[in-house]
Amino acid sequence: MTTAATSVRPSETVTFDIEHASKASGLSAGVLRMWELRYGWPRPARLPNGYRVFTAYQIEDLKRMSALVKSGMLIGKLIDAGMPKWPNDGTVKPKQAACLLEAARGLPQPRSAQARDIRDRLIDALKIQNHGKTWELLLRATWEIHPNEQALAAWLPCVVAMDEFADAGKPLPKREDIEAFVIQHVRGALGRLPPNDRPLWIVPTSAADTCTAYVAALVLSQQGRDARPWQWEKLPTAPFMTVGKQADPARFPAERNQGHLAVVASAKQQGLTGLVATVGAPIPR
């Protein structure tokens, strides 16, 4: 039988007597015997002479239980059928609900069958966070879908899905790579539009909303309101809209601010999803 120092590494082969378990956990030997008798826990092994022996894993559990009891929790509430019921102490994150990407799936379908197929597959890949498949489908969108349908088939579903993941507290892995790809191709689509000296500028509320600003500018332009993403720190002197999370009114003066767009529309906030999902939705002027 080993009587090691109080600080031990968990092991199934090294055992400790009840005196050591008592000192290590701060619980008296009498308490340990009483808990075993009354609650069926802890359940140490027994030597041929009847002495109790504890593994290092059991001692770590005893330390944890001791801290909970000393904090005011009742031992009777912490043991169930001879097993500890550990409360969530912050070391174990609660299981998060699956992110179903309902807003992304609720976007209107593109007209062509090929675009619809890629769009549905892309949302499925985003949902399970399969970056390789997502990348493949984004590439296919640029090769196989007409530029006029790429926003609905790929760019907007990506932006909406990323926003849904962020709201669920589950940021999409490699989000920066996806955003850079989307920005690159949306910039090309905007560059092919006729030049306009007085577009509606789309100002991201933060650097994290830059991709959203590009996609919003493209969506609005395709709906007939020529728009461009604003890429500078100083605000434009011409009319503009903000996009992203809720904008700070003190930062964006009302005299030039034409309104704010969230990504996902709600009863209280206009959003990109509302602009494309509702037939005849008013276009900001």
Least confident segment among 17-31, 80-94, 142-156, 184-198 = 80-94
Residue 283 has pLDDT above 70, yes or no: no
Least confident segment among 51-60, 135-144, 145-154 = 51-60
Residue with the larger pLDDT of the pair 91 and 106: 106
pLDDT of residue 143: 92
Q: What is the pLDDT of residues 198-254, one digit of tens each?
A: 999 999 999 999 999 999 999 999 988 999 999 998 999 999 999 998 777 778 877
Could you give all domains of the chain from N- to C-terminal order, each with its CATH number?
A: 15-84 (1.10.1660.10), 102-277 (no CATH)
Single-letter residue type at 274: G
Q: What is the pLDDT of residues 3-62, one digit of tens each?
A: 443 344 444 457 789 999 999 999 999 999 999 888 888 888 888 888 998 888 788 889
Of the candidates 176, 174, 119, 181, the residue with the CA atom closest to the CA atom of residue 150: 119
Residue 67 dihedral angles phi and psi, to the nearest 5°: -65, -40
Instruction: Please give the Cα distance from 138 to 118 (Å, whole number).
Output: 8
User: Are 130 and 250 spatial neighbours (Cβ–Cβ below 8 Å)?
Assistant: no
Neighbours of 275 (CB within 10 A): 20
DSSP 191-210: HTSPP-SSPEEEEESSGGGH
Residue with the larger pLDDT of the pair 74 and 158: 158
Single-letter residue type at 157: P
The token duo for 109 is 């379908």
Using CA atoms, how far residue 114 sits from 118, 138, 139, 145, in Å, is 6, 13, 14, 7
pLDDT of residue 159: 96
pLDDT of residue 281: 41
Largest CA distance in the chain: 94
DSSP 235-273: PPSS-EEEESSPP-TTTS-TTTEEEEEBSS--SSS-BHH
User: Are 158 and 135 spatial neighbours (Cβ–Cβ below 8 Å)?
Assistant: no
Instruction: Please give the Cα distance from 74 to 72 (Å, whole number).
Output: 7
How high is the mean pLDDT of the chain?
A: 84
Instruction: Please give the Cα distance from 106 to 90 (Å, whole number).
Output: 35
For residue 55, the SS3 value is strand
